[in-house]
Chain A
Amino acid sequence: MARKFWIGILITLTIALAGVSYQKLLRNPRCAYDGSPIAPIYEVDIILKDTSVRKFCSVYCATQWFEKNTLSVDHVLVTDEIRGNKIDSNMAYFVESELITNETNDNRIHVFQLRQDALTHAEKFHGKTVDDPFFIDE
């Protein structure tokens, strides 16, 4: 019985180590706020002062996290919905419209690199431009 017991514990240990390895090496990035999968077109990356990166599935989740951790944030990269380019949030145009990007959290804030794209989207989906939600007061 004792031998079986310790073999069982060894198997458990192996399963736990395999689980940790999977989490560290294989798992695709997930939203650092709610754990949902990240669609590349809506990805928001928050770069911290220690150069580590937090990835988010939407502007909503990133804002929620940002509000609680503003002091540790260096800058924020958002993704242009049209081209998929990653740009600094200071350079981006944000539009709040009727179109939802993520049904789970009801995110309606869209990101654009070009002003014209933002205006076209706002007109098409009854939206309005909003301020950068990731503004860092120096």
Chain B
Amino acid sequence: MIINIYTLIMLFVACVSLFLGGFLLYATIQSLVTFKTAIPAKAINTFEQKGYLLFLIACVVIVIRMLAWPWFYFMLQSFVPEIPGAMCMFGVTQILPSTVIFLQIIKPVAFFVMGGWLLCYAVDKSTPTTPLARRNLYFLLIVCSILLIDSAADISYVLRMKPLMSVSCCATFFDTPLRPSAMIPQAILGSNYQDILFILYYAVNIVLIALLFTSLSKKWQSLPASSKKYILYGQAALGIVNIPIVIFAFFEIIAPGLMQLPFHHCIYCFMGNGTVPDAPIMLGMFVIGTFAIGWMGILRPLCKNKEVQPVTERMLVKVNHLAVFCLLASLIMVTVHFLFI
């Protein structure tokens, strides 16, 4: 184990969330088993207190786990000087590679699911009768399972991490002509893939932002239901299509261009070595913007209830604003860098 402030905090957070997550899972199952829509007047107070405690613990653990995602990258960056041969986070990922890949997949998934649950809970909480409580408890079961897996994986990684082997430089992986980030777009878009990818990056992002603005406009309410449906499906589809386009664009064009290293395609160097100091904000904005589109997709079906409908609508507008803002901010930041660098 490498001991520094980052690993100690990570270990502490993972242990606390594992313990609280375990308790939360048990309490959620118990609440679901004993769940009643009608409660005797005498028991209302106890029931409310139990529910309040359960959801309070859930909120605390979930917020902590969501913060653990960026913290994980801070921790990887702190390992760079400890590992022989490591120049950036890529070198660190060469030790316990399968665990790191797993963590890099589960963390965004956990962030997305937990964010979705927090929004559903916020909608339910704003109504005195909490009509979505049961649905939120079922959702919380999924959240707890992911939370426990994520926390256990964190503990396992931090404890097993030993800088005993020498690793290779990121250039040996990211800068070879047969790198996956070049081969895949080349196979789809042809040999001139870089120009097409760059145009696609701007085109898809601009159309997506325009669609998101449409659902915020004053004319939205007057649109027929079928048009609204098409626009919402369009937002979701473009949001999904935008993910690989942005990822490949960052690897192939944006990262080398902004780092002023035209042959270096390492996203870890771009993110962590300080060459582009605002790179993590750029990437973070894109992630939150994309997730916000997904969160709208979670809110619409899960918070479908006459009682909470006005609250859901208000929440959807807020999340829509968040998606537009984050995607636009990310696009502006990339553009400013390309214009002035």
Contacts and interface: CB of A to CB of B under 8 A. Distances in A.
A49 B95 CA distance: 43
Interface string A1-19: 1000100110011011111
A32 B171 CA distance: 12
A30 interface: yes
Interface residues of B, number: 36
A20 interface: yes
B341 A24 contact: yes
A5 B263 CA distance: 37
Interface residues of A, number: 28
B164 to A, nearest CB: 15
Contacts of B285: 12
Interface in B83-131: 84-87
A8 B261 contact: no
A15 B325 contact: no
B321 A16 contact: no
Contacts of A68: 263
Contacts of A64: 263
Contacts of A1: 317, 321
B85 A104 contact: yes
A101 B269 CA distance: 21
A17 B332 contact: no
A22 interface: yes
Contacts of A30: 275
B329 A105 contact: no
Interface string B229-260: 00000000000000000000000000000011
A19 B337 contact: yes
Top-4 shortest CB links A-B: A19-B278, A16-B336, A12-B329, A16-B333
Given A1-B317, A8-B329, A34-B261, 10 more contacts: A8-B325, A9-B325, A9-B328, A16-B333, A19-B277, A32-B261, A34-B169, A34-B269, A35-B275, A104-B86
17 contacts: A9-B329, A16-B278, A19-B279, A19-B333, A19-B337, A20-B341, A23-B277, A23-B341, A24-B341, A33-B261, A34-B269, A35-B259, A35-B264, A35-B266, A35-B273, A64-B263, A104-B169
Interface of A: 1, 5, 8-9, 12-13, 15-20, 22-24, 27, 30, 32-36, 64-65, 68, 103-105
